[in-house]
Structure 1
Amino acid sequence: MGRQLWRQTWPMAIGALALLSFQLVDSAFVARLGTEPLAAQSFTFPLSFLIIGVQVGLGIAIAALISRALGAREQERAGRLGSLVLLIGSVTIGSLVILLWWLQAPIFRLLGADADTLALIRDYWAPQLVAAWLGALLYFGYSLFRAHGNTRLPGKLMVVTSLINLLLDPLLIFGWGEWQGLGLPGAAWASVIAFACGLTIVVFTLRGKHWLTWQGLKQEARQSAKAVLGIAGPAMISQLMPPLAAMLAISVVAGLGQAEVAAWGLVTRLETLSLVVVLAMTMSLPPWLGRCYGSGDWAQIGRLMRLAAKVVVVWQLVLGVLMALLAPWVAGGLSGNPEIRDDLALLIRFLLPSYALLGLCMLVVSAGNALGWPLRAMLMSGARLFIFYLPCLWSGAYLGGLEGLAIGAGTGNALAGLAAWQLYRSVTDKKVAAQANKKATVRADPSRGG
């Protein structure tokens, strides 16, 4: 089982590492432009996370519904569900992108951006929204492959798109020869080109598969609308909570100063990179859990979750402690500005070790959507942010400035992880015990096995 979990997870881990590395590299290149451009980019992160939250919620629906259909041997229905969710996803993300462009000025002012920062954001935001839409379409394609048990192609394509972005970033940001480059918008245009290349490969690959069925789509939409909304709705709400929390968090950080905003932007990029194994597992594990759920194998579900939890906690704890010890050097490599560097090192020391339990919470929320309790997963996601993380972060900032904010955020992450695992145990232990009792009863009296 451990080897099979590793085979399913490692391609996504490598791909996610490459994808998240290029996001961190983006910010590292932008940091070379100065504090103001990096702060401007940092203000856009919560809204970028908002788009990602919607796409991940729909991606969860794709993986969960298709894997359940495949577990029940309903191949044609799996094709219709894939087509249905891909169509809904492309239209939904497109509409959201248009809305965020239209409302950009009042939103960024509300987050604390001043007039000079708004001018920098305006030039960057248009290509960044185009990149977000293309990235969402690419993610939906990845979700379709994962639902069918293929994690290698998404992993490879994440690496390819990351390399394309890495090569284009310095060229488009800083220029070449006499050409001065595009500055901050160059980072967004590099992502546009990289995602467009990856999407082209996905489209041509899907042409050789039989995973999409357009016949009977209207009827399937009517029959499955409740199931799609039942998973995608709570999942999207769960995924939209982090962007909302990120907006509230950056508004708190903005009150501390522009250098603090820039450092916070870098540590949020580093956060997603350091959680790469967790993120990969939340992508590779749910389809497997969905198939076990479809076949009613709760004992296997329990074994899978215990193994995944051990991997997440041990890996993140070792990585977090190591990064805390190396914080001054890591911060120096990401930013040459001494003020940003010192603030970033402080944030790394207190936040990175707490991701061991944050990763556990993320694993439970992801599993909940595959195991038929999306509402509990949504509530746990909300509790993590609005009961544990934000109150601790705000209290820490109020009492101790940036250092207090870092301590508070780390404490909130730890409390959320412990609460999430307790919730998971309370739900699944009963299921495993009931299934074991049923099997024992059938062995004792075969006539009662149905």
Structure 2
Amino acid sequence: MAATLPRQLWQQTWPMALGVLSLLGFQLVDSAFIARLGTAPLAAQSFTFPLSFLIIGVQVGLGIAIAALISRALGADEQARARRLGSLVLLGGGAIIALLALVLLSAQEPLFRQLGAAPELLPLIRSYWAPQLLAAWLGAALYFGYSLFRAHGDTRLPGKLMVITSLINLLLDPLLIFGIGGWPGLGLPGAAWATALAFGAGLVILGRRLGKTDWLARHGLVGEARRSLGPFTAIAGPAMVSQLMPPLAAMLATAIVASLGPTSVAAWGMASRLETVSLMVVLALTMSLPPWLGRCYGAGDWPQIRRLMALAFKVAVLWQLALGGVLALFAPWVAMALSGNPEVRGELSVLIRGLLPSYALLGLCMLVVSASNALGWPLRAMLLSCARLFACYLPCLWLGTQWGGIAGTALGAAIGNGLAGGLAYLMFRRSIDERGRRTSVIN
């Protein structure tokens, strides 16, 4: 079993890694296109990132909970229950995200003012925010479908659909942003409409494939909702809080960086896009591992869990150190490719060199949080997320910004990531050792 474990992890993870790369890659290119419109549109888009991350945090928290319950039901051979849970996540998740989008649309102006957006940026943000919220809702519905496929062990279809939707978005981006022929295009809102159309096409494909499976149920949903509400809340509550803390931290981080001016905000927003792309392997592991860990949890196979996590840690650290080192070495050229503004390029280059290598330890923290939700430790995952952001990351970021401008910002964030990774590793080792001792006593 141990000899085939790397191959199994590769087979489960590579489709998601390819999909995540394409999905995050188009978002990075999206920002690169917007950067060609000028610093103001790029800064306007950057101010929307924290609230967009808020929506993503809610959808990921819901997805973690439902994927954990479905995978555990499958591990315990409860097929009928897994089908009912699949139907519930698609219906309930879509309704929750739609409600959140409406709230964020109605409260947009005070929210963006609190984030530090200058009055002259508000009209640009307003033109972009409504179609972006539509795109976010469509993307959330697509994500819930992906969660269902991953819970059943199918990572290939989600990976393929991420690639397809990314390609559609990349084709539509220049047309809708800059126009074609005599049509001048939509400018900044064109980027959001391109994403909405791409996600809509992905939903059509996903719906047709889902219709060919027997993973959904029409009957018994009310009873299942009552039965699963307690376990679902026990996982989803802490998981959602864990996922909501990064958007909250992103809002605070944006407000901190905003004190340095619009150019720094634009560079910080671009660096945030690059961060998610560089973490593609870690993000893929956080998607492919939990259903696998959930099935092992349902079967009581803790030695396999330990082997899986040890391998995932090695992959994450080696990948992030190698990629971070290369990108830091070529930082000026990477910044030149992403932004046409010399001032933004200079600050982005500083952020790349300071931040990218530190994502090796950030990746460890992300894996521990994801695994803890799948292994029945959602409260620990929540506390770890809280400690990472509010005890490690934000204080170091604030101190660095106060003392050293954009260079201090990069150094402070890197130190915060390092502290968080070390804390996460120690916490996971302690948790898994405690579980091992408890299992030995029972046996």
| Larger deviation, residues 369-378 vs 205-214 | 205-214
2:19 is the counterpart of 1:15: yes
Compute the TM-score of the two structures, normalised by the length of structure 1.
0.97
> 2:307: which partner in 1?
303
> 2:29: which partner in 1?
25
2:403 is the counterpart of 1:387: no
Distance 2:440 2:10 in 1: 27
Distance 1:212 1:234 in 2: 26
Report % sequence identity.
69
Contact persistence 1:302–1:432 (CA under 8 A): no
For structure 2, list consecutive stretches of 5 or more residues without a partner in the other structure.
none
User: Deviation per CA, 1:174-211, whole angstroms, max 9, x where unpaired?
Assistant: 00111110000000000010000000011111111111
> 2:319: which partner in 1?
315
Equivalent AA in structure 2 for residue 371 of structure 1? L
Aligned partner of 2:220 among 216, 219, 229 = 216
Aligned partner of 1:61 among 65, 87, 95 = 65
Aligned CA RMSD, in angstroms, stands at: 0.8
Contact persistence 1:241–1:382 (CA under 8 A): yes
Equivalent AA in structure 1 for residue 143 of structure 2? Y
Distance 2:66 2:158 in 1: 15
> 1:448: which partner in 2?
none
Contact persistence 1:101–1:125 (CA under 8 A): yes
2:264 is the counterpart of 1:260: yes
Distance 2:361 2:398 in 1: 20
> 1:444: which partner in 2?
none
Distance 2:66 2:144 in 1: 8
Compute the TM-score of the two structures, normalised by the length of structure 2.
0.98
- What is the SS of the residue equivalent to 1:212? coil
2:180 is the counterpart of 1:172: no
Distance 1:328 1:433 in 2: 51
Structure 1 position 116, deviation (Å): 1.3
Distance 1:221 1:29 in 2: 44
Aligned partner of 1:159 among 160, 163, 173 = 163
> 1:106: which partner in 2?
110
- What is the SS of the residue equivalent to 1:293? helix
Equivalent AA in structure 1 for residue 208 of structure 2? F
User: Deviation per CA, 1:280-314, whole angstroms, max 9, x where unpaired?
Assistant: 00000000000111111111100000000000001
Runs of 4+ in 1 over 3 A off after TM superposition: 433-439
Distance 2:354 2:93 in 1: 37
Where in structure 2 are the equivalents of 1:174-323 lying within 5 Å?
A: 174-323=178-327
> 2:431: which partner in 1?
427
Distance 2:137 2:419 in 1: 34
> 2:38: which partner in 1?
34
User: Deviation per CA, 1:18-51, whole angstroms, max 9, x where unpaired?
Assistant: 0000000100000000000000000000000000
For structure 1, list consecutive stretches of 5 or more residues without a partner in the other structure.
440-450
Distance 2:378 2:279 in 1: 22
Aligned partner of 1:136 among 115, 122, 140 = 140
2:90 is the counterpart of 1:86: yes
Structure 1 position 85, deviation (Å): 2.0
| Larger deviation, residues 136-145 vs 85-94 | 85-94
